[in-house]
Amino acid sequence: MEPMKVLVIEDDRTAAAYLAKGLKEAGHVVDIANDGREGLFLAGSEHYDVMIVDRMLPGRDGLSLVELLRAAGNDTPALFLSALGSVEDRVKGLRSGGDDYLTKPFAFSELLARIEVLARRRSAAQPQTRLTVGDLEMDLLARTVKRAGKEIELLPREFALLEYLMRNAGSVVTRTMMLENVWDYHFDPQTNVIDVHIARLRQKIDKDFPTPLIHTVRGAGYSLRAVG
Amino acid sequence: MFRLLRTTTFRVALLYLCLFLGSVGVILGVVYRSTAGFVEGQLHEAISEDVGELREQFDRRGLPGLIDAVRARSAAPHTNSIYLVMAPGGVPLAGNLSGWPNGAPDAQGWLHFAVADTGGPSGGPATAQAVTFALPGGLRLLVGRDMSELDSVRRQIVSSLGWIFAVTAALGIAGGVLLSRSVLHRIEAINRTTRRIIDGDLSGRVARSGNGDEIDRLAGNLNAMLDRIEGLMAGLRQVTENIAHDLRTPLTRLRSRIELTLLRDDEDREAYRAALQDALGEADRLLSIFTALLSIAQVESRTQRDGFRPVDLAEVVETAADLYEPLAEEKGLTFTTEIRERPVVDGNAQLLAQAVANLLDNAVKYTPAGGRVVLTVEGNRVTVADSGPGIPPEMREAVLRRFVRLDAARATPGNGLGLSLVEAVARLHRAHLELDDNRPGLKASIVLPTAA
């Protein structure tokens, strides 16, 4: 993943410093704004690949900040951080122009995976009817999957899971992100149910081929990528 | 006594008393008019008869006959009849009246006057009524009756009616006082109990009379409310104790792990890494408990129908089945989904999904390999049936409480909050969570109300 320029708008200075440290270690460039006014100024005057916005900020709250930026034609992907975790809070955040929503406390790996996906989605090209990763091909219209020219039978949900992984190929995708985007589950089930689904997908995608495409990223999730 | 006057019961009793006395007054008025009027009418009739007979005498025998007849009648002992035949010039010719009375007759031709003594039954001063006639030759005839009898009847009627009225009023007031005092007494008993409860003794209950009237029902409802409050308080106390216990344990582990690592003398990077990994796992477990507790609290504090939409129950179940099926098969369980109907219910899809997922999670977690899990939608009922160890009947209510886990389940990972959330979601949807014996295993059903 090439370096991103990230704007962190967070009034808790310690939390902002931790975020900046983690993002820098992941190879990204970080600017910090400690209140809404400063955040609005920075977001309006420089180009960022993604911004991380605390929902409750002094000066100007996160929701209205993103709303204002969107009204001004700024479409920098925004991820909301909030201590408010109900479904209604998320809906409100996404409706105001946010692209993703993460409830505090969160794992840093989760945040990193999400903003990388956001930044990549922005740079992605036109809508596609075919997805290709290495020798893996997915035809979204015919709903068929081929690897190295050989057709692979998938159940509908396996197809949806693979589609999500392929759309975000090269990025780390967390279990929570899969639950949200493939099953529309905005809560974490008590047992880890995702790993079994990935194992089944691996059986079909990777088992009979020399190079695996689905990689486990320890402490974070999975990533679909063609090595090399 | 003043307090009594301020009570609603007494005021209502007083109002009823006034209305009652008013109607008694009207009835007594009618009784008076008909009795006194009857006596007066009889006297008038008697006078008319007299007049008729005297007129006949006069017609047949002329003046001497009339005078004879009047004399004979006036001489009768203890008579209450009054007669007078008057010659022109004011000379009385016959009769028992000393002179022609003053005054003019009324509209009906009746002359009312006072008489000193007629030798009649009353013997004293009395009133009299009479009719007068002019006879040929300037003569005048007066026929009347001493009315003292009627007066005494009237006085008697008025006095008895007065007594009746007074006794009714007295009984009414006494009844009102008694009634309001007994009601007041019972309400005061309720007030005493509530004051005791306000002072902190939640075990107090209002005594019931058992006769099923309004106050008895009020007492019953108060008691039911107090039972609920006491239950909630006990639940709160239990939750607080459980939180203290269930969070203290992992916190203590976390703390000792960090402390022991810091006590180490060597600088073994790997050991530090492992310790941090453990600490992170412990912190995540703590956070998941918090998240689960918060979700339950959020569901419980929601107002009914807040954000409710029509939800395809079968779709919710299919998604959950789809998510859990591989896990169940991995564990060596037979997993079946039976969608018999596709009911649409009013609800929150995410919360219903979470409830179904929690039930499936439990079924898959506790059913040993080789067992089966059956997920069914039938009517407005979602059922998760398994062939696991089940829940003994006496524990079925307890497991819905927060942090309550069966002893046999302690070895399996879990926080004892799963069924509490299902119960809270069910309650929010006005649904029931039913736990039954699946012989063997557990049959957990969420029974939703039909969409309006």
Q: What is the pLDDT of residues B186-235, one digit of tens each?
A: 888 888 888 888 888 878 888 887 788 888 888 888 888 888 888 888 87
Asked if residues B82 and B143 have their Cβ atoms less than 8 Å apart, the reply is yes
Q: Is A218 on the interface with B (CB under 8 A)?
A: no
The more confident residue out of B151 and B323 is B323
Q: Is the pLDDT of residue B281 over 50?
A: yes
How close, in Å, is residue A164 to chain B by CA atoms? 16
Q: Is residue B326 part of a domain?
A: yes
Q: Is residue B400 part of a domain?
A: yes
Which of B300, B318, B350 is the last residue before a domain boundary?
A: B300
Q: Chain B: residue nearest A91 by CA?
A: B307
- Could you report the per-residue pLDDT of B3-28, keeping only the tens digit for each? 666 777 777 778 888 888 888 888 88
Q: Chain A: residue nearest B419 by CA?
A: A190
Q: Are strands B442-447 and B432-437 parallel, antiparallel or unpaired?
A: antiparallel
CB contact residues (below 8 A), chain B span 32-51, against chain A: none
Q: Which helix H or strand E contains B81, and what residues bound it?
A: strand B81-87
**End-to-end distance of chain B based on CA atoms, in angstroms?**
54
- Could you report the per-residue pLDDT of B122-134, keeping only the tens digit for each? 455 678 888 888 8
- % chain B with pLDDT above 70: 96
Q: Is the dihedral of CA A141, A147, A153, A159 positive or negative?
A: negative
Interchain contact, A183 vs B295, CB within 8 Å = no
For the ranges A129-133, A177-181, B264-268, the lowest mean pLDDT is seen at B264-268
How close, in Å, is residue B398 to chain A by CA atoms? 20
CB contact residues (below 8 A), chain B span 84-113, against chain A: none
- Token look-up 């004892």 returns B416
Interchain contact, A87 vs B330, CB within 8 Å = no
Give me the domain span that covers residue B276.
Answer: 214-300
Which residue among B319, B326, B358 sits closest to A183, beta carbon to beta carbon?
B319
Q: Which helix H or strand E contains B227, and what residues bound it?
A: helix B214-263
Q: Which residues of B touch A186 (CB under 8 A)?
A: 350
Same domain (yes/no): B334, B369: yes
Same domain (yes/no): B358, B404: yes
Q: Is the pLDDT of residue B174 over 90?
A: no
Q: Is residue B202 part of a domain?
A: no
Asked if residues B313 and B344 have their Cβ atoms less than 8 Å apart, the reply is yes
Burial B258-288 (b: 16+ CB within 10 A, else e): eeebeeeeeeeeeeeeebeeebeebeeebee
Tokens linked to A37? 């006014």
pLDDT in the model for residue B251: 87
Q: Is residue B341 part of a domain?
A: yes
For the ranges B43-52, B203-212, B339-348, the lowest mean pLDDT is seen at B203-212
Same domain (yes/no): B427, B335: yes
For chain B, the domain total comes to 3
Q: Is residue B190 part of a domain?
A: no
**pLDDT tier for residue B401 given thresholds of 50, 70 and 90:** confident
Q: Are strands A172-174 and A214-217 parallel, antiparallel or unpaired?
A: unpaired
Which residue among A87, A107, A197 sits closest to B326, beta carbon to beta carbon?
A197
Same domain (yes/no): B143, B244: no
Distance CA B399, CA B393 (A): 10
What ipTM was estimated for this complex?
0.85
Q: Which residues of A touch B414 (CB under 8 A)?
A: 190
Nearest to B95 by CA among B112, B109, B110, B115: B115
Interchain contact, A85 vs B291, CB within 8 Å = yes
Same domain (yes/no): B130, B228: no
Q: Is B191 on the interface with A (CB under 8 A)?
A: no
The more confident residue out of B433 and B271 is B433
Q: Is the pLDDT of residue A84 over 80?
A: no
Tokens linked to B195? 């004051």
**DSSP-assigned beta bridge partners for residue B132:** B142
Q: Is the pLDDT of residue A161 over 50?
A: yes
Same domain (yes/no): B77, B104: yes
Q: Is the pLDDT of residue B119 over 60?
A: no
**DSSP-assigned beta bridge partners for residue B445:** B383, B434
Q: Chain B: residue nearest A158 by CA?
A: B322
Q: Is the pLDDT of residue B243 over 80?
A: no
Same domain (yes/no): B313, B440: yes
The more confident residue out of A23 and B73 is A23
Average pLDDT, chain A: 90
Instruction: State if pTM tops 0.80.
Output: no
H helices present in chain A, as ranges: 13-25, 36-45, 62-71, 87-95, 108-123, 156-167, 175-182, 194-205
Q: Is B276 on the interface with A (CB under 8 A)?
A: no
Interchain contact, A183 vs B294, CB within 8 Å = no
A–B interface: beta-carbon pairs under 8 A = 55
Q: Is B418 on the interface with A (CB under 8 A)?
A: yes
Same domain (yes/no): B97, B13: yes
Interchain contact, B350 vs A187, CB within 8 Å = yes
Q: Is the pLDDT of residue B289 over 50?
A: yes
Alpha carbon separation from B217 to B208, B211, B222, B427 (Å, rounded): 8, 9, 8, 26
Interchain contact, B330 vs A196, CB within 8 Å = yes
Same domain (yes/no): B286, B323: no
Q: Which residues of A touch B405 (CB under 8 A)?
A: none
CB contact residues (below 8 A), chain A span 14-73, against chain B: none
- Could you report the per-residue pLDDT of B161-170, keeping only the tens digit for each? 888 888 888 8
Query: What counts of helices (H) and strands (E) characterise chain A?
Result: 8, 12
Which residue among B288, B319, B327 sits closest to A196, beta carbon to beta carbon?
B327
**pLDDT tier for residue B319 given thresholds of 50, 70 and 90:** very high
Which of B267, B300, B333 is the last residue before a domain boundary?
A: B300
Same domain (yes/no): B403, B430: yes
Nearest to B31 by CA among B149, B148, B146, B156: B156
Q: Is B375 on the interface with A (CB under 8 A)?
A: no
Tokens linked to A161? 């899971």
List the CATH number of the domain containing B97. Answer: 3.30.450
Q: Is residue B93 part of a domain?
A: yes
Q: Is A92 on the interface with B (CB under 8 A)?
A: no
**pLDDT tier for residue B353 given thresholds of 50, 70 and 90:** very high
Asked if residues B333 and B296 have their Cβ atoms less than 8 Å apart, the reply is no
pLDDT in the model for residue B125: 65
Which residue among B287, B298, B324 sits closest to A86, beta carbon to beta carbon?
B298
Q: Which residues of A touch B294 (CB under 8 A)?
A: 85
pLDDT in the model for residue B120: 46
Average pLDDT, chain B: 84
Q: Chain B: residue nearest A157 by CA?
A: B322
Same domain (yes/no): B360, B315: yes
Q: Is B204 on the interface with A (CB under 8 A)?
A: no
Chain A interface, best mutation among B286, B298, B306, by max A CB count within 10 A: B298
How close, in Å, is residue B425 to chain A by CA atoms? 14
Q: Is the pLDDT of residue A28 over 70?
A: yes
Nearest to B359 by CA among B285, B451, B438: B438
Which residue among A105, A107, A190 sits closest to B358, beta carbon to beta carbon?
A190
Which of B244, B270, B300 is the last residue before a domain boundary?
A: B300
Give Cβ neighbours of residue A15 (< 8 Å, ≥ 6 apart): none
- Could you report the per-residue pLDDT of A142-152, keeping only the tens digit for each? 999 999 999 99
Q: Chain A: residue nearest B323 by CA?
A: A193
Q: Is A86 on the interface with B (CB under 8 A)?
A: yes
